[in-house]
Each structure stands twice: as C-alpha cells, then as structure tokens.
Amino acid sequence: MGSTSPAPASVQPAPSASQSSPRQEGQTDAVTIAARSGRPTRLHRAVFQPIGDEGRAALVERRIADAIIGGVLPSGERLPAETELARSFGVAPATAREALLGLRERGLIVTRRGRNGGSFVSDDADPAAFARRTLAETSRVALRDLAVHYLAITVASIELAARRADPSEIAGIRTRLERVRDDDLAAWRRVTDDTQIELAALSQSARLTREQMRLQGELSPFFALIDTDPDARHDNRERLLSVLAAVADGDEQRAVALTREKVHRCVEWLIELRESAAPPAAPARSASARTAAEAAPPAAPLNPAAPSAHHAPADTAVDESAERTPS
C-alpha cells in the first residue's frame, strides 16, 4: 500500500505593491499631509525643530535670534517655556535656559513675572532695520548667488508640485492667499512665505521642503523690504497667483517660467535698493593728477629739535622771554 504524500502547503501570492499596506495607495509623506491641514504655519514651526547632535546653547540662541530678527517671531510673541523649548530642540533644560539668558542680554526678549508671565519677543527687535543692514553688508555677487540657490530649490519644488499636486490642494492655498489683504504687511509676508512652503510640500519631497523652509527663512526679511513698495507688492501677488494657477493646471513649464521671472524681479529690486542706499564713492583722480602727485618731491620733515621762529610753540616763546628778563 503506497504512502500518500502530504498535500503541498498552499503558497500565498506575494502582495502587490498596491496591496502591501492599507496606507500605500495615495500615501504621502508627513509634510504633504500637513499641507492639506489648512494651517499655513510651517515657517513658524520650523524655528522649534530639533537641532540634532550640536545641541548647544549658542545654536538654540542663534536659531531663535534669527527668527526674531527675520520677522518670523514678531514682537510681543510669547516663547515656549524652558522645558518645552528643551523638548522641542532636543537639548537639556539648562541649555535652553542659557539660550534664553543670551537672548535677554541682547535685548531680543524680555521676561515677565507673574501668572501671565514668560519670555516675550521684545518690542525693540526691528526686522526691517536688520534686513536693511544685512542687505547693505551683502555684496551683489553674494546676493545673486543666494538667489540662484533659492531659485534652484523653488523651481524644482514647483516643477514637481505641478506634476503631483491635486487641484483641490492648490485651491485651498489660493483661498488663504486671497483672504489676506496685501496692505497688512506682516500678515501678507507670513502667508506668502507659507504659500511657497506649501508648494514645496506638494512636491512630495521631504528634502526639498526642508531646504525651502530654510531658504525662505533666510530670504524672508529681504522679501519683507520689497513688500513696503505697494507696486512691487501688488506685482508679486499677481505673479504668485499666476504660479498657483499654472500648478493647478499641471503646466509645469509655465509655472517654472513665472517663478523664474518673479525671483529675478525681486533680486533686481533688492540690488537697486542696496545701491541707492550705499554712500557715494569718492571721485577718482585723473591720470595727470596722479602723475603730478607721484612726481612731486616729498615734503621735508620738520625737525622737532630746531623749530623755526614761525612755528615755535607758544610756551617756548614765553620761556625765552622770561630768560631775557633781568632779575
């Protein structure tokens, strides 16, 4: 009687890519999900991201100081408590306390006691003055180089967003943008910064989004200077709305072209402001004047041991007259 071989174990087919996880279909990364939440606060939240292994008080202080001077944290805004700051940055509470002390010494924050106390951004922190000073200290080459970096990241984000974003997502961003009056400069700057970061998030690239956030924070004070010009501000608003329309239509070439033109106009405006505020240069001497100056013999140095009568010091003359006076 022959033995019956056992029935082979049933082999389950490997799940396809679309079945591997209930979250795979339509899965987006965290930044894209946040982009759909309707809360344009990315640049603000980026201030309090962990700073990694270099968790030192100076880095915490610099991160918050840059956000205050750059206008991301406006005057009067209350900072998180020490323990919350430490948890957000991933540092020890003593490190956060030291950073707050440094900010107080620089006059960027004030601390109030009592029930509603805490650390608040000082009213004396002036983002516009900081931006003008920084612009004056930045060379044209450095400014254009910064714009090239910003443009490279922004164009890459816009191009991917035009391919991947859903029109309903763009409609939500557009609604928020149109809701803000552009004569409210602080609100307008916050919304336009967040619009650029939302578009980067819709690229579905976490790396591009993080870099866009960093660059937006660096350039936002300069963009705020442009906002003070009503014509330039209105022009930027119309161009940004046009970029959103092109992304919603999936027209990546038009969206990229509009973005390039918008950034180039902003850079030219800043360069013009920088040069108009620069002190006038000293007039250059003509070639004949330089030749005459070089050919002239050097002036004979005065001999302090034997001053001439014309240049004799007053106290010397008094002493000599006193010696001639009979006793």
Maximum CA pair distance of the chain? 160
The pLDDT value recorded for residue 124 is 80
The pLDDT value recorded for residue 33 is 42
The pLDDT value recorded for residue 147 is 95
The pLDDT value recorded for residue 93 is 92
319: left (phi over 0), alpha (psi -120 to 50) or beta: alpha
DSSP letters for 201-241:
HTTT-HHHHHHHHHHHHHHHHHHHHHHTSHHHHHHHHHHHH
155 CB-near residues (< 8 Å, 6+ apart)? 256, 259, 260
Whole-number Å distance between alpha carbons of 102 and 109: 9
Domains and CATH numbers, the chain: 30-125 (1.10.10.10), 128-277 (1.20.120.530)
Whole-number Å distance between alpha carbons of 301 and 75: 59
Whole-number Å distance between alpha carbons of 304 and 160: 78
DSSP letters for 79-115:
PPPHHHHHHHHTS-HHHHHHHHHHHHHTTSEEEE-ST
The pLDDT value recorded for residue 324 is 45
Q: Which residue has the tokens 């080459």?
A: 141
Q: If DSSP states are collapsed to H, E and C, what string results for 257-313?
A: HHHHHHHHHHHHHHHHHHHHHCCCCCCCCCHHHHHHHHHCCCCCCCCCCCCCCCCCC
Answer yes or no: are the C-beta atoms of 273 and 229 closer than 8 Å. no
The pLDDT value recorded for residue 194 is 92
The pLDDT value recorded for residue 133 is 87
Q: What residues does 25 pair with on adjacent strands? A: none
* pTM for this prediction: 0.62
Whole-number Å distance between alpha carbons of 292 and 132: 41
> Pairing state of beta strands 109-112 and 118-121?
antiparallel
Closest CA to 218 of 138, 277, 158, 98: 138
Average pLDDT for consecutive 10-residue bins of the chain (327 residues)? 48 44 41 45 66 67 86 89 92 92 90 88 84 91 95 97 96 94 87 94 94 90 93 95 97 97 96 84 53 52 41 41 42
Answer yes or no: are the C-beta atoms of 26 and 17 closer than 8 Å. no
Whole-number Å distance between alpha carbons of 260 and 246: 13
